[in-house]
Amino acid sequence: MIEGKAVARFGTGDILITPLVREDLSSGCVSLQNKGTHTIGEYTQDFKPEETDTVLHFDNVESLGVLIERLQHLEKMMKGELGDCLPPIPYEY
């Protein structure tokens, strides 16, 4: 783990990712919960917020769009689709 940093490690299905939005649609968030092994991408119908949740909060759609774009870029990097623009990971985790 990175000293002084929290790490959410994806790839085994143990992190449930739940999107939430305010009733007035003014903001939204994605909650990450460590819930043990599930199927990757599984939705649950019984979401209950917990103190240990990691929350990505968005006050506007533009900032959400930037995160989506960066995740799509990372996906292409991990698939080797971007040629030589594969920077090294700057830390061990």
Output the pTM of the full model: 0.77
Would you state the pLDDT for residue 12? 87
Amino acid at 86: L
The arithmetic mean of pLDDT across residues 12-24, rounded, is: 91
CA distances from 86 to 5, 9, 10, 45, 51 (A): 23, 20, 20, 38, 36
Task: Answer whether residue 86 shows pLDDT above 70.
Answer: no
Amino acid at 80: G
User: What are the tens digits of pLDDT across the range 27-85?
Assistant: 999 999 988 777 888 887 778 889 989 999 999 999 999 999 999 988 988 888 886 66
CA distances from 53 to 30, 31, 33, 40, 69 (A): 10, 6, 5, 18, 24
Strand partners, 20: 29
The larger pLDDT score, comparing residue 83 to residue 11, is at: 11
Where does the pLDDT of residue 1 fall: very low under 50, low under 70, confident under 90, or very high at 90 and above?
A: very low
The helix/strand/coil state of 65 is helix
